[in-house]
Amino acid sequence: MRAIRLVTTDTVGDGAIRHGEIVFAMAVSGANIVRDMREAITNTLGGNMTRYEQLVDTTMQRALDLLAERARAKGYDGVLAIRISHPVITDGAVEVVATGTGFFYV
């Protein structure tokens, strides 16, 4: 399986490209009540909220992996100008939306 380039820049410096269409992906992960209670205690006492950090890391990676899969399915070599957003769908969940422009090497 070929590697898909995912970049936040508007160009790539290693060859001529042709722009394609927008590619997007969204990943949503729910926090469970036990995690919420533990993190509420950490939030009250102070310290790193490592369980939430792990949840965000995992969700972000899923969104980027899905973005690469969708780009590959459309025949693109990569995705330019990737932007990440974190909309709020519901309390107790982490949402990550990744969008960008597909491109082909020419």
d(CA 17, CA 14): 9
Read off the pTM: 0.85
CA distances in angstroms from 84 to 1, 10, 75, listed in the order given: 25, 15, 22
Domains of the chain, CATH where assigned: 5-105 (3.30.110.70)
In tens, the pLDDT along 18-68 reads: 999 999 999 999 876 666 666 667 667 777 777 778 888 999 999 999 999
Strand-pair category, 5-6 with 17-30? unpaired
| Segment 83-102 mean pLDDT | 91
